[in-house]
Amino acid sequence: MTNSAFLRVLNGERVNPPPLWIMRQAGRYLPEYRELRTRAKNFLDFCYSPALATEAVLQPLRRFQLDAAILFSDILVVPDALGRKVWFVEGEGPRLEPLIGEEHWRFDEVERAIQRLAPVYEAVGRIKGSLDANTPLIGFCGGPWTVATYMLQGQGGDKERARRVAYERPLDVDRLLDLLAEMSARHLAEQVKAGADCLQIFESWAEGLPPLQFERLIIKPTQKLIQRLRQIGVATPIIGFPRGAGAEISNYAQRTGVTALGIDTSVPKILAPHGMPVQGNLDPLLLVVGGTALESGVRDVLERFSGAPHIFNLGHGITPEASVENVARLVDLVKGRA
């Protein structure tokens, strides 16, 4: 796949204009996705249907000239596969039975969990078979701490409860992070075996941690995950996206073993080691607002990261309120056609 600008950038090459994809590009801002979504009775069933997941991945590629596809799935298939109950409340988000009493702190074997995720790997294979030869496919998982926060709290939002348990039950939480690092490495390896060309680790909740806890909850589990993945023999590039890492972003880039750094909306300049590819970081709100604000936002991102191998993306997932016209305009602006 030597013609993929996306993979060339991940290999350290500067490409102009930069390749582009959009976090959550298969999503609710697309009317055809909203229609497709009605064909499964709930969100997890949708993720576990290889046919529906494949169609969802292809939808945005038919509309826009995007330089990568990403598996349609969810970071919470991992706790689901480990035997924790996961469900999605329409319009609110995911819910899990939180880890409180001893009876909750029990997880199924990794081997068995990986078997349960067979439909995900089947989807990867189908998607890969449906993409044209020059469109790379990104596989993904959540960062161990991000997945753990959902498991500890039972939902997203404020991370205080998860952080508190991390202080109060240090051994249990460290063991959980070890399990998630192992499970995530295996999950990513299976995605690569099924056809993924690149991997992204979504550490959506890297924010608000004191440095000792950032080291313990973000850096170390990510190191373990990536070391294990390399040990299994997976050599594909890995984009780490520690959203909200703030002043810790360089530390994350330098020490976790990621190939490339995903940067959130608030990161002002290149904070990755020299030559490391960066991916980001347009404010997703600009795809709602449009107009000259979108234009100057895109120009600003292009200028700020022109000194690094750069993959254009948003600083966070596209929102349901974004307009299809603004996405088309974004693609034109990045490709220099506007």
Q: Is 155 one of the binding residues for a copy of itself (CB under 8 A)?
A: no
Q: Does 146 bind a copy of itself (CB under 8 A)?
A: no
For the CB of residue 250, give the shortest distance to a copy of itself in the complex, in Å: 9
Size, binding site for a copy of itself by CB under 8 A: 41
Kindly indicate which of the ranges 41-49, 81-89, 138-146, 260-268 contains the residues binding a copy of itself, using the contact rule CB under 8 A. 260-268
* CB distance 79 to 146 below 8 Å: no
Fill in the per-residue mask, 161 to 190: x = in contact with a copy of itself (CB under 8 A), - = not in contact. Answer: --xx--xx-x--------------------
Residues 6+ apart with CB under 8 A from 215: none
Helix or strand run (H / E) with residue 125: helix 118-130
Cβ proximity to a copy of itself: between 113 and 301 the closer is: 301
Of residues 222, 24, 249, the one with CA closest to residue 142? 222
* Binding of a copy of itself by 286 (CB under 8 A): yes
Taking the least distance from each CB to a copy of itself, the nearer of 35 and 325 is 325
- Strands laid side by side in the 238-242 sheet: 69-70, 137-142, 198-203, 238-242, 260-262, 278-282, 310-314
* 203 near a copy of itself, judged by CB under 8 A: no
Which of 106, 175, 230, 269 is in the footprint of a copy of itself by CB under 8 A?
269
Beta bridge partners of 262: 279
Per CB under 8 A, does 227 bind a copy of itself? no
Q: Is residue 191 within 8 Å of residue 158, measured between CB atoms?
A: no
The strand pair at 198-203 and 238-242 is best described as: parallel
Q: Which residues are part of the catalytic machinery? A: 24, 28, 37, 74, 150
Contact (CB, 8 A) for 82 and 151: no
Phi and psi dihedrals of 309, rounded to 5? -60, 120
Number of H helices and E strands in the chain, helices first, is: 16, 9
* Site stretch for a copy of itself (CB under 8 A), options 36-44, 106-114, 197-205, 292-300: 292-300
Residues 113, 197, 315, 326: which binds a copy of itself (CB under 8 A)? 315
Residues that bind a copy of itself (CB under 8 A): 160, 163-164, 167-168, 170, 207-214, 244-249, 251, 264-269, 271, 281-283, 285-286, 288-289, 293, 296-297, 300, 304, 315
